[in-house]
Structure 1
Amino acid sequence: MFSLTSMFLPFSFPVVTSLAVAALGYYIVFKSYFLESYRYPSKDIDVPIPKECESDWQEDNFISEPSISSKEDPRKITCYDPATGRILGYKSAASPSEVNLAAKKAYDAQRQWSKTTFAERRQVLRTICEFVIKNQTDLCKVAARDSGKTVLDAMLGEVLTTIAKLRWTIENGEQALKPSRRSTGFLMMYKLAMVLYQPRGVVGAIVSWNYPFHNSIGPVISAIFAGNGIVVKTSENVAFSSSYFLKAIRAALEAHGHSGDLVQFVTGYAETGSALVECPLISHITFIGSAPVGRKIMETASKNLTPVTLELGGKDVAIIMDDADMSQCYSVIMRSVFQNAGQNCIGIERVLVHEKLYDSFVSEMESRIENLRLGSGLEQGNGVDMGAMVMAQSFKFIQSLIKDAVDKGARLLAGGKPYNNPKYPKGHYFMPTLLADVTPDMEITRNEVFGPVMVIMKITSAADAVRVANSSPFGLGSSVFTSEPSTGRQIALALKCGMVNNNDFGVNYLCQSLPFGGVGISGYGRFAGIEGLRSMCVEKSYTEDLFRSVKTKIPPVVDYPIKDISNAIDFTSSINTFAYGSSLVERVKAVFTLAKNA
């Protein structure tokens, strides 16, 4: 007789067992998290938003020319909104002595911070995380005002990524930094071997301007959770917002009784960055920026043999095979190119489309790009898709790359020049651009554009796609779109880059368990994930005896002064044969030799 019970009976035991194990696991995690949250509760912190970041702020004080530097005072930084040209205020570039003082303050605070438990560090990160979630719109407004981006782009690139990093570190950071037990091998079987992850002390970070909130707080999260102090050199191009972000971090530390001096922000030009790299108190440098500046960072860091992690931008590809799901591709590619006005290190700068889909893809992109609306996300509201660019100085370079491509046969189908916003003529806008029929001999395929330019190239096969993709000296991220997983994996394995997403763009960074970084002139070293967190530590090898009664003792035959060199050599040779020899007969012989000499 048929019944539901009889149908599920053969599966009941394994299913029930699996559910029970899962439930137990969730219970343990929930209980430990609940108990820790009870013992180490987060706290509400309040950091008022700058008045200039309110949507109704309308002070009519505009820049006369698109430059942050002052001819009268080389240390004066003019802060202004790239979307409107409105002046936000002025900052002073930090001198070398001020950088050293900041490092000393972080050093003094770190000596106490290094004694904190992981639970205490998580408590601070939870407070920061809850502040970010509760104030995400305000944080986006501040980032948007300083960089010219839209609030939506800030929500995706500034807030979402920061919360992902905070949550991963809170939930997984301790496991990554716990002592790691290692194999001892045959001879040392009576030992316990471990790797200890200890704080470096004070680390430094020199970060770029394209994501002012996330780029400044990201290194802080890893550094302080690992027990370090940190000095962040924020970009002079977004000097206005950094003080607000720093206040939030320090407020979280101080709310739990820790010194806010643990985290220091300095801003300024090349002199400020050089001073940070040269500072003897700095034990590690993370640099996010261009390849030419990265080389200078390496050269300067070599004076003190300071280790560096370099993230130097990319020329990322999206490979679209003939079986790709185009209902997904169109929207993902648009976002991957024009998010943040194209100012993304992992933005897609080359779109490689199979010849069977090429014409229809170009047509669809032309239609979509022509409908994009430019403006100030804070002041022009819902009628804006793409914001301003941070630096108008880059326009000439972008236009030169476009001209070179057109001169060599590419078709310019949209944009290609700056956009004059009738409401904000001082704003830095570049029209969303579409270049088709681009070939690898064009300069735009070898240079990072870092702007709103879609470059489309035709491919004929997977092998052709790999050849074109690997023609660039950059190797940061990439995307492959295909309905066949094996094809996606095959292409991914052949690409010379640090990160690949199959049927997606940039999501590797939302998987914060994954390391972030590239190869070639995209840099080396990794941040994010276990690898990034451990890079904030000194890896110390450690051994101890497993049993008190079993210790390493020097046999008389090799004890100083050595009485018989020949016997000593015979003895040590027998140790090698006994421990690592492949012949059983020879190993047995070695045992007798050892017994005789012992």
Structure 2
Amino acid sequence: MPELDLFLDITAPNGRQYKQPTGLFIDNEFVKSTSGQTIASIDPATTREIASVYAAGAEDVDKAVNAAKAALKDDSWKLLPATDRGMLMGRLADLIEQNKELFATIDAWDNGEPTFSPILTKFAYTIRQPIGVVGQIIPWNYPLSMAAWKLGPALACGNTVVIKAAEQTPLSILVLGTLIKEAGFPKGVVNIINGYGREAGAALVQHPLVDKVAFTGSTATAREIMKMAAGSLKNITLETGGKSPLIVFNDTDMEQAVKWSHFGIMSNQGQICTATSRILVQKDIYDTFVEQFKGAIQTTSKIGDQWDESTFQGPQVTRAQYDRVLEYIQVGISEGATVASGGGPHPANSNGESGYYVQPTVFTNVKDSMRIYREEIFGPVVVIVPFETEEEAIRRANDTTYGLGAAVFTKDLERAHRVAAEIESGMVWINSSQDCDPRVPFGGVKQSGIGRELGEAGLEAYSQVKAVHVNMGNKL
């Protein structure tokens, strides 16, 4: 079979002549496919071949995706001002307008669409409506707060809800049910179920009458939810795991950086999806930072009874989570990292009772390839690593499958904004950690989730847009 030319001289049935590209358009060039395979485009009016074009295989797809990824990072596109992007779009629109008869010819020939299309005078508007029945799966680390995050926007937009409480922490959400009834909500508007994820959660996600699923939890579970929701193309919002970086530059306010860094990983026993569990510190202040961080643990991380107002760190939520955290600590030790502080179970609490208490643990001499650097632990365990340049810090911060939160500590606000723009995450804190405002969207990128909660985006996630077109007297 002769090799196909990348451009063919073609004459359409209406007499219009033009050059038809046949290749794959990759990196602004038409190229032949790796395999040389082709696809024939058929005129549906005559059943005869119009032309053949090259068919992409997996290798060609990889080239195209890598070209798009490289362009995304290249300054020629990344730093192009929005006005200049608009000018490019306008120029393209002008060129399409200049060639509209050619495009009408090609599409009429290629798919049988008549070239006549009436342009009508009309009025159009949009309305927002509830999505419908929403299934909300709540995590165990902040039971009532997470229920409120999801329930409020859903009800405000007119949806009805089925909440599945976490099997580990169902109690406060059940009490919330009594207040929902007392407040006067109609029957069936809010429903609360307990149960295990593999049974009750799966049944909720797959139920044919559930129109949307909102989930907060692990990335692994989110993948399973996506598969189950795909059966009926459900609307989904997923807020999943993280391995959030916290970058400390050498011009920072050291005392504040240490305090916020400690809070960012050790609060709530490290059981926070946005926990800044990877701390990157500029090399010339690294040793000082590590020592002061260890000091913050000694002075702040009082471990014990959660009923004691002076307690900073309580127990892990379950035996399974306790065992998971301790297992990761052993993994870090076996991988060759240095335990700079902590490193095991904490003794019994002040009442002499056993509990799921873990020492706040700091690892140094950590390589980026280690599991404790790359995997979400969800406990009071942090790695502290040195870096030399801003570019290195950004590269290493972004070297993760996650992208939920990140923090930057520096007195140089120009640098702070520059780094914040470069970090691949849904949220960035400048000179703080774990800030949250219900007026501001919350959510991640990459494998840290899909969609947003809170803010205007959180309301939009619980409504759908309908377009209404009104004929203003036109007659065909």
The answer to whether the Cα contact below 8 Å between 1:251 and 1:260 also exists between their aligned partners in 2 is no
Q: Does 2:464 correspond to 1:552? A: no
Report what 2:23 is aligned to.
Answer: none
Q: Unpaired runs of 5+ in structure 1?
A: 1-186, 555-598
- In the other structure, the counterpart of 1:203 is 134
1:467 aligns with 2:395: yes
| Alpha-carbon distance, 1:499 to partner | 1.2
Unmatched segments (≥5 aa) in structure 2: 1-117
Shift of 1:466: 1.0
Q: Between Structure 1 and Structure 2, which shows a larger proportion of helix residues?
A: 1
Q: Distance in 2 between matches of 1:463 and 1:193?
A: 49
Q: 1:189, 1:524 → 2: CA distance?
A: 38
TM-score normalised by length of structure 1: 0.57
Give secondary structure in 1 for the equivalent of 2:284: coil
- 1:248 maps to 2:179: yes
Alpha-carbon offset, residue 335 of structure 1: 1.1
Is the 1:459–1:465 Cα contact (8 Å) retained in structure 2? yes
Q: Deviations over 1:2-49 (max 9, x none)?
A: xxxxxxxxxxxxxxxxxxxxxxxxxxxxxxxxxxxxxxxxxxxxxxxx
Task: Give me the whole-angstrom Cα distance separating, in 2, the residues matched to 1:467 and 1:400.
Answer: 28
**1:119 corresponding residue in structure 2:** none
1:148-163 aligned at under 5 Å gives the runs none
Match of 2:340 among 408, 413, 435: 413
Partner of 1:222: 153
- What is the CA deviation profile of residues 443-481 of structure 1, one whole-angstrom value per residue up to 9, with x for unaligned ones? 011110110112111111111111111111111111111
* Map 1:272-291 → 2, pairs under 5 A: 272-291=200-219
Secondary structure at the aligned position of 1:196 is classed as strand
Conservation of the 8 A alpha-carbon contact between 1:316 and 1:478? yes
Q: 1:551 to 1:424 in 2, by over 3 A?
A: farther
Tell me, yes or no, if the aligned pair for 2:163 and 2:191 is still in contact at 8 Å. Answer: yes
Quick one: which amino acid aligns to residue 523 of structure 1? Answer: G
Match of 1:298 in 2: 226
Q: Distance in 1 between matches of 2:470 and 2:256?
A: 56
Runs of 4 or more above 4 Å deviation: 187-190
Partner of 2:311 in structure 1? Answer: 384
Query: For residue 315 of structure 2, what is the amino acid of its counterpart?
Result: A
- Name the counterpart of 1:352: 280
Mapping for residues 434-513 of structure 1, pairs under 5 Å: 434-507=362-435, 509-510=436-437, 512-513=438-439
Distance in 2 (CA, whole Å) between partners of 1:290 and 1:223 is 22
CA contact (8 A) 1:374 1:387 kept: yes
Amino acid of the residue matched to residue 181 of structure 2?
R
**Separation of aligned partners in 1, 2:445 and 2:352:** 40
User: Which amino acid is the alignment partner of residue 272 of structure 1?
Assistant: A
Q: Residue type of the partner of 2:220?
A: P
- Structure 2 counterpart of 1:211, one-letter code: Y
Separation (CA, whole Å) in 1 of partners of 2:191 and 2:264: 33
Moved more, 433-442 or 402-411: 402-411
Q: Would you say 1:363 and 2:291 are equivalent positions?
A: yes
Q: Which letter maps to 2:333?
A: V
1:542 aligns to what? 468
Residue 188 to residue 425, structure 1, CA distance change in 2 (3 Å)? farther
How far apart in 2 are the matches of 1:491 and 1:552? 55
Q: Among all aligned residue pairs of Structure 1 and Structure 2, give the percentage whose two residues are the same amino acid.
A: 33
Q: Deviations over 1:283-309 (max 9, x none)?
A: 100010111111111111112221211
How far the C-alpha of 1:273 sits from its partner, in A, is: 0.3
- 1:529 is aligned to 455
Q: Is the 8 A contact 1:203 1:282 kept in 2?
A: yes
Shift of 1:200: 1.4
Label 1:485 to 1:224 Cα distance change in 2 as closer, same or farther (>3 A).
same
C-alpha separation in 2, matches of 1:538 and 1:361:
49
Q: For 1:91-106, what aligned pairs fall within 5 Å after superposition? A: none
Distance 2:285 2:120 in 1: 61
Residues 553/248 of structure 1: CA separation in 2 closer, same or farther (3 Å cut): same
After superposing the two structures, state which structure 1 stretch, 187-196 or 408-417, moved more.
187-196
Other structure's SS at 1:363 match? helix
AA matched with 1:416:
G
User: What count of residue pairs does the alignment treat as equivalent?
Assistant: 357
Q: State the distance in 2 between where 1:326 and 1:195 align.
A: 52
Q: What's the counterpart of residue 163 of structure 2? A: 232
Residue equivalent to 1:404: 331
- Alignment of 1:262 with 2:184, yes or no, is no
How far 1:426 moved relative to its partner?
Answer: 3.3
Please state how far the C-alpha of 1:241 moved relative to its aligned partner: 2.4
**Kept after mapping to 1: 8 A contact 2:326/2:358:** no
Counterpart secondary structure, 1:399? helix
CA contact (8 A) 1:316 1:346 kept: yes
Shift in Å at residue 424 of structure 1?
Answer: 4.8
TM superposition shift of 1:190: 5.0
Alignment of 1:129-140 (within 5 A): none
- C-alpha change, 1:196 and 1:431, in structure 2 (3 Å) is same
Correspondence 1:12-23 to 2 at 5 A:
none
Alignment pair present for 1:515 and 2:444: no
Quote the residue 1:583 is aligned against. Answer: none
Q: What is the alpha-carbon distance in structure 2 between the residues aligned to residue 194 and residue 419 of structure 1? A: 62
Aligned mates of 1:225, 1:541 — CA distance in 2: 21
What is the aligned counterpart of 1:337 among 246, 252, 265? 265
Q: What secondary structure sits across from 2:313 in the alignment?
A: coil
RMSD: 2.0
SS of residue matched to 1:358: helix
Alpha-carbon distance in 1 for matches of 2:340, 2:464? 53
Q: TM-score normalized by structure 2? A: 0.71
